Structure 1
Amino acid sequence: MAKRLKFYAVTHDILGDVFWEVFRRGLIDAADRYDVDVEHLRPGKFSPEIQAGLIEGATHARPDGLISTVPDIGAVDGPLRRAVAAGIPLICINAKDPRPAGERIPYLFYIGGDDGHAGEFAGRYVLEKVRPRAALCVDHYLHEHICHNDRWQGFRRACEAAGVPVERLRIPGGDPAACASAVRERLEAAPVIDAVLTLGPPGAEAVLAGSEGLSGGRQVPHLTFDVAQLQIDGIRSGRILATIDSQQYLQGYLSVEAMWLHKARGFTLASDIHTGPAIVDASNLAAAEDGVRRGYR
Structure 2
Amino acid sequence: MSKKLKFYAVTHDILGDVFWEVFRRGLLDAAARFDVDVEHLRPGKFSPEIQAGLIDGARHARPDGIISTVPDVAAVEGALKAAIADGIPVICVNAKDSRPEGERIPYLFYIGGDDFNAGELAGRYLLEHVKPRAAMCVDHYLYQHICHSDRWHGFKSAFDKAGVPAERLRVPGGQPEECAEAVAKYMESNPNVDAVLTLGPPGAQAVLDAEAIVGAGRTWKHLTFDVAQLQLDGIRSGRIMATIDSQQYLQGFLAVQHMWMHKTQGFTLAADIYTGPAIVDLSNIDEAEQGVKAGTR
TM range (shorter): over 0.9
- What pairs up with 1:111-122 in 2 under 5 angstroms? 111-122=111-122
Cα offset for 1:2? Answer: 1.8
CA distance in 1, matches of 2:250, 2:22: 9
Contact 1:112 1:246 in 2 (8 A): yes
The one-letter code sitting in structure 2 at the alignment partner of 1:33 is: R
User: Cα deviations across residues 87-144 of structure 1 (Å, max 9, x unaligned)?
Assistant: 0000000000010111100000000000000000000000000010000000000000
Gaps in structure 1 of 5+ consecutive residues: none
- What pairs up with 1:210-229 in 2 under 5 angstroms? 210-212=210-212, 214-215=214-215, 217-229=217-229
Cα RMSD (Å): 0.7
The one-letter code sitting in structure 2 at the alignment partner of 1:43 is: P
* Structure 2 residue aligned with 1:271: 271
CA distance in 2, matches of 1:251, 1:99: 20
Contact 1:188 1:215 in 2 (8 A): no
* Structure 1 residue aligned with 2:256: 256
> Is the partner of 2:107 in helix, strand or coil?
coil
Mapped pair 1:182 → 2:178: no
CA distance in 2, matches of 1:282, 1:214: 26
TM-score by length of 2: 0.99
Contact 2:95 2:112 in 1 (8 A): yes
User: Cα deviations across residues 41-71 of structure 1 (Å, max 9, x unaligned)?
Assistant: 0000000010000000000000000000000
* Structure 2 residue aligned with 1:42: 42
Percent of aligned positions that are identical: 73
Cα offset for 1:174? Answer: 1.1
Q: Aligned residue pairs: how many?
A: 297
* Structure 1 residue aligned with 2:65: 65
Cα offset for 1:217? Answer: 2.0
The one-letter code sitting in structure 2 at the alignment partner of 1:218 is: R
Mapped pair 1:87 → 2:52: no
CA distance in 1, matches of 2:6, 2:13: 21
TM-score by length of 1: 0.99
Contact 2:148 2:199 in 1 (8 A): yes
* Structure 2 residue aligned with 1:110: 110
Contact 1:133 1:193 in 2 (8 A): yes
User: Cα deviations across residues 164-217 of structure 1 (Å, max 9, x unaligned)?
Assistant: 000000000010000000000000111100000000000000000012253452
Gaps in structure 2 of 5+ consecutive residues: none
Cα offset for 1:153? Answer: 0.1
* Structure 2 residue aligned with 1:281: 281
